[in-house]
Amino acid sequence: MQRVSLSEIMEAKGVVVVGASRDEKKSGSQLLYVLKRVGFQGNFAGINPQGGEVFGLPLYKSLDEVPFQVDIAVFHVPPPVVPSVLRDCVKKGVKGVVITSEGFAETGAEGARYQNEIKEIIKESGIRGFGPNTLGIVNTDTGLTTSYFANRWMMRPGSIGFVAQSGIFVGALLRHLSSYEGLQLSKGLGLGNKVDVDESDALEYLKDDEKTKIVGMYLEDVRDGRRFIDIARQTTAVKPVLLLKGGKTEAGAARAASHTASMAVSDEVLNGALRQAGILRIPSIDELIRTLRGFLTMPQPKGPSLALVTFSGAQAIMSIDTAVEEGLTIANFNNETQQKLKQVISTPSKARNPVDIFPDMAVHGFEKTMITTLKALMEDENVHGIISISFANAGAEVYQPLAEAFSGQCSKPLFFSLLGSKKDFQECQAFLEEHGFPCFDLPEMAVRVFSRMWKYAQIKERHKRR
């Protein structure tokens, strides 16, 4: 049986919500409302045995009554009903289904029986299935979403493709990422219990998706390790892949089994396989977000050597420690750079790496001192990345001249780290990131992001040599 491609599913033009209620507060009805509000570029309607309408949208009594081609059916029905509804979808010629329902293999023997039944139907028919236990898929380019979390703000097109083995994580992540300017999704694929579409299928799709420039993944297990690593190698040859892995501890693995019926995999074995494939493993959502911004806004580094510009010797020292732990080096400036720095740094020891702009800044002013210093480092071939460490206590306007001088002009990564009150930091961070400069509260995080970018630059270079 010929299987439908994921591209056909992700570019769907006709969606029905099976089990949509006339009660506007129910999840199926809310999804119809979301599709209407975000401007989905296709046809959509609900299925309800009683008929009627909700939010001014029709509720047909059966799939046979639907007057348009149905590409995707989203199930908001209980597990015992899913197999029969799935068979109806096969007869109708539906290309794919998103099974949002919980209560399958993650709950025990009865749920596993239902899941095995729908697995067999999918296998025999060639239809594609997401879930069970997932909010499904997102294509921001067409306004397609099967998640009732979405709104127009969240559905702004971006360049991050995300895969999540979780019921609700894609929807929640969509909401979270959309609160950060510049971190919008291109596509989102929720796997849930992986009755059909798994992490390898999703990654293979995102590998070829032109709108996706970087891939993020949250997984609790890997179904077919050999296939996954093979596809991951192909993907990392053309775009970075960042992975969050749940269930790395014994307690976490046990919870994953009841969450999405995941099978435990040795964390040590997984790490080795990920390194071979070129996937970058990320320890937390916070670091994932910071790393995404680094990749999306800055050029890839051409080497491992960092330059630090600082007010604070202590923060610079801690950053150097982190750099060494990450396998990075601290740059030695060339003679030309040292001469340029003398224009604004009078004490020779403060013009070395890390560059300490205090107290000379009081003489030349923040703007001249910083721009002269950063330009000198940007032009030094011995420097592959720059981290500027200062205080968030002067208001965002102090960074306007820097933004004008360097926005779109960076030949290497330039990160800012600002320490101060929460309010001042957030104001400065918003300004800098609006202008394309990653901004961190702690410089050690900036070092780790640079390290991942350098690791990926090496991965990509190895692919080129093969």
The stretch 161-184 carries a mean pLDDT of 80
CATH match of 300-465 with 3.40.1280.10:
no
Over residues 267-310, the pLDDT tens digits come to 777 888 898 899 999 999 899 999 999 999 999 999 999 999 99
CA distances from 408 to 136, 174, 418 (A): 36, 27, 21
Confidence of residue 258 (pLDDT cuts 50, 70, 90): very low
Angstrom distance (rounded) from CA 373 to CA 179 = 33
pLDDT of 168: 65
Q: How would DSSP label each residue in 371-418?
A: HHHHHHHHT-TT--EEEEEEEE-S-GGGGHHHHHHHTT--SS-EEEEE
* Both structure tokens of 398: 């102090």
Question: Which letter, b or e, does each residue of 400-438 get, where b requires 16 or more Cβ atoms within 10 Å of its Cβ?
Answer: eebbeebeeebebbbbbbbbbeeebbbbbbebbbebbbb
Burial class (CB in 10 A: 0-12, 13-18, 19+), 267: middle
Residue 453: is its pLDDT beyond 60? yes
Does pLDDT of 259 surpass 50? no
State both tokens at 216: 């993020």
Distance CA 428, CA 397 (A): 8
pLDDT computed for residue 121 by the predictor: 97
Q: Which residue has the tokens 């899941």?
A: 115
Q: What is the pTM of this model?
A: 0.92
The whole-number average pLDDT for the span 148-161 is 91
Chain center to CA of 22: 35
Q: What is the percent of the chain with per-residue pLDDT over 90, rounded to a whole number? A: 77
* Pairing relationship of beta strands 96-99 and 439-440 according to DSSP bridges: unpaired
pLDDT at residue number 248: 55
Read off the pLDDT band of 170 (50, 70, 90): low
Tens-place pLDDT, residues 43-72: 999 999 999 999 999 999 999 999 999 999
Per-residue pLDDT reduced to its tens digit, 70-121: 999 999 999 999 999 999 999 999 999 999 988 888 888 888 999 999 999 9
Tell me the CB-side half-sphere exposure of residue 163, using CA atoms within 13 A. 27
Cis before residue 132, ω within 30 degrees of 0? yes
27 vs 257, more confident: 27
Q: Do domains 6-292 and 300-465 have the same CATH topology?
A: yes
Q: List 98's β-bridge partners, or say none.
A: 74, 130
Q: How far apart are CA 255 and CA 316, in angstroms?
A: 40
**Which CATH code, of 1.10.645.10, 3.40.640.10, 3.40.50.261, 2.40.170.20, is assigned to 6-292?**
3.40.50.261
Domain residues of the chain, as ranges?
Answer: 6-292, 300-465
**Average pLDDT taken over every residue of the chain:** 91
- Which residues have CB under 8 Å from 186's CB, separation 6+? 139, 140, 141, 157, 158, 159, 160, 161, 209, 211, 212, 213
- CA 199 from chain center: how many Å? 14
pLDDT in tens, 111-146: 899 999 999 999 999 999 999 999 899 999 999 999
How far apart, in Å, are the Cα atoms of 357 and each of 188, 311, 314, 381? 44, 6, 14, 21
Q: Distance (Å, rounded) from C-alpha 8 to C-alpha 128?
A: 10
Binning pLDDT at 50, 70 and 90, where does residue 256 land? very low
**Beta strands 137-139 and 185-190, pairing class:** antiparallel
Digit-coded pLDDT (tens) for 380-407: 999 999 999 998 876 788 999 999 999 9
Phi, psi of 225 (to 5 degrees): -60, -45
Q: What is the pLDDT, as a whole number, of residue 444?
A: 97
* Sequence-separated (6 or more) residues with CB below 8 Å from residue 107: 258
pLDDT tens digits, one per residue of 196-209: 999 999 999 999 99
Taken in order 29, 30, 36, 42, the sign of the CA dihedral is: negative
